[in-house]
Amino acid sequence: MRNIRLIIEYDGSRYSGWQRLKNSSETIQGKLENVLSEMVATPIEIIGSGRTDAGVHARGQVANFHTKSPMSIREIHKYMNHYLPQDIVVKEVKEVSERFHSRYNVKSKRYVYYIWNHWIPSAFQRKYSYHLVEKLDIGIMKEAAAKLVGTHDFIGFSSVKKTNKSTTRHIEEITINKEGNMLVFTFTGDGFLYNMVRIMMGTLVKIGLKQMDVSYIDEIFESKTRANAGETLPPQGLFLEEVYY
Amino acid sequence: MRNIRLIIEYDGSRYSGWQRLKNSSETIQGKLENVLSEMVATPIEIIGSGRTDAGVHARGQVANFHTKSPMSIREIHKYMNHYLPQDIVVKEVKEVSERFHSRYNVKSKRYVYYIWNHWIPSAFQRKYSYHLVEKLDIGIMKEAAAKLVGTHDFIGFSSVKKTNKSTTRHIEEITINKEGNMLVFTFTGDGFLYNMVRIMMGTLVKIGLKQMDVSYIDEIFESKTRANAGETLPPQGLFLEEVYY
């Protein structure tokens, strides 16, 4: 069997997220599988690097699937972009080793979160950022972000219910940049728990608005209690930027 | 009466264009007038710098209206962005001289047209650019654009029917730049006829694909025949960028 790896970009606005659902084909995985299954005239299941939630976007989601189809890589690529809806685009198609697995082999991931931080909203960024009127203090948020970097049990920054699996993750880097009225946050790490980026963002915002002290990050790590962290920021500001193998 | 000038940004995707229509409030002007009329509890008519067609966007449309309302500029600004749909944003509100007229006083306008020129489409640019797979020759298009600059009768580059009004316009500058896969065309001039930017774009594309010679621009000027020019490119690549007074 051939093993084909895809790099996928999608505007998540009108989807119920990545994962295929029984009663809805309005998921990214569902759309991709439908097109691939038509293409090779046999049911195809794809393996994604991980889920993204409803409304979250991606510039570099990775997925792979197995097939006996003799189609060329270029033919597969053209076929997919021809039949996929315009808000899902396959950026790259590559034949990879049989052993490659989009989820198991992930080394790290990079997410980007956008905040439009001005009292006048943006007509063009409304679906691709979170609009926050109150001015954020970037210096203080950078201090707080530095405390999140490293290896920690992030259960307090996630929506994960009680679990036997490890909730320890390593965050390599967080960057915060201002580009005009847009604040751009990047998170690179070996893995992210359910809602973890959006809850870290909600916590950074609370600190940036001086509603919470920087030292509160330590308390969330210690208490391991999600209720102590900031709110889960909305999905439309979040992009899965790149997956590293 | 106070005279209030607005600078407006809009995502034209879901609108029938700028101009108010009798049987549809799904126009930019209609939406703005509805909100303003509610605000001052009396019917308001606004004057725009000019129309934009269905699907065309704006980053700097200008309009003005007259009112006796005692509301402050800041109050008007906040009220409008609060009640307008999210794809229409008022960027600036200013009280101007009684004599200011958004249409009559226009000195020049700048439009931008975006072409996504790559065989792989873009999920995020699909509503804000025209997707063209075939590679364009930028050098040749720049030569052709230079022929459009200056004072000419542009009737051959417009959808204007027979008219007694002058169809002579002055184009100050056309620039063409490549930003990654995006080609960015700007047009600055003292006025543009109906569909003129989109027909100039269709003509430049035909030349950039070498389906038409650069010298053909002269023939369109001489023949004054729209049928000789390229097709009208689709609206979603076009932005009214700025209006100068």
State whether residue A81 sits within 8 Å of chain B by CB: yes
Best CA proximity match to A244, nearest among A1, A4, A20, A7: A7
Find all residues with CB under 8 Å of B2, minimum gap 6, and list them.
B66, B67, B68, B69, B95
**Residue written as tokens 């691709």?**
A128
Spell out the per-residue pLDDT of chain B, length 245, in tens: 999 999 999 999 999 999 988 776 699 999 999 999 999 999 999 999 999 999 999 999 999 999 999 999 999 999 999 999 999 999 999 999 999 999 999 999 999 999 999 999 999 999 999 999 999 999 999 999 999 999 999 999 999 887 789 999 999 999 999 999 999 999 999 999 999 999 999 999 999 999 999 999 999 999 998 888 899 999 999 999 999 99
- φ, ψ dihedrals at B45, nearest 5°: -110, 135
Nearest-by-CA chain B residue for A93: B120
- The set of catalytic residues of A is 53
Nearest to B89 among A86, A90, A120 (CB): A120
DSSP class of residue B58 equals E
pLDDT of residue B161: 83
Nearest to B123 among A87, A124, A126 (CB): A87
Best CA proximity match to A191, nearest among A110, A101, A100, A99: A110
The C-alpha atoms of residue B229 and residue A30 are separated, in whole angstroms, by 44
Residues of chain A with pLDDT under 50: none
Chains A, B: CB contacts under 8 A, how many? Answer: 48
The C-alpha atoms of residue A94 and residue B195 are separated, in whole angstroms, by 43
Please tell me the distance in Å from B132's CA to the nearest CA on chain A: 14
Q: How many residues make up chain A in this entry?
A: 245
Residues in chain B within 8 Å Cβ distance of A122: 9, 89
pLDDT of residue B160: 87
Nearest-by-CA chain A residue for B8: A123
**Residue written as tokens 């000019």?**
B50
Residues making up the annotated binding site of A for substrate are: 111
Q: Do A124 and B120 touch (CB under 8 A)?
A: no
Nearest to B123 among A9, A77, A120 (CB): A9
ipTM of the complex: 0.93
pLDDT of residue A160: 87
State whether residue B111 sits within 8 Å of chain A by CB: no
Considering only residues 38 to 67 of chain B, which have any Cβ-Cβ distance to chain A shorter than 8 Å?
57
Four-point Cα dihedral B42, B13, B113, B118, nearest 10: 170
Find all residues with CB under 8 Å of A185, minimum gap 6, and list them.
A112, A113, A114, A115, A145, A174, A175, A176, A201, A204
Q: Do A124 and B90 touch (CB under 8 A)?
A: no
Nearest to A89 among B10, B86, B121 (CB): B121
- Which residue of B89, B114, B129, B240 is the best one to mutate when testing the A interface, meaning the one whose CB has the most A CBs within 10 A? B89
Residues in chain A within 8 Å Cβ distance of B86: 121, 123, 126
State whether residue A94 sits within 8 Å of chain B by CB: no
**Residue written as tokens 């809009």?**
B10
The C-alpha atoms of residue B241 and residue B66 are separated, in whole angstroms, by 24
pLDDT of residue B18: 96
State whether residue B148 sits within 8 Å of chain A by CB: no
- Which residue of B31, B84, B86 is the best one to mutate when testing the A interface, meaning the one whose CB has the most A CBs within 10 A? B86
State whether residue B180 sits within 8 Å of chain A by CB: no
Residues in chain A within 8 Å Cβ distance of B121: 81, 86, 89
pLDDT of residue A24: 67
The C-alpha atoms of residue B40 and residue B183 are separated, in whole angstroms, by 43
Nearest to B123 among A88, A120, A122 (CB): A88
Helix or strand (DSSP H, E) at B48: strand B47-48
pLDDT of residue B25: 65
Please tell me the distance in Å from B220's CA to the nearest CA on chain A: 36
DSSP class of residue A120 equals S
Domains of chain B: 2-96 (3.30.70.580), 108-244 (3.30.70.660)
Q: Are A178 and A137 spatial neighbours (Cβ–Cβ below 8 Å)?
A: no
pLDDT of residue A25: 65
Q: Do A121 and B86 touch (CB under 8 A)?
A: yes
Catalytic entry in B53, B87, B137, B153: B53
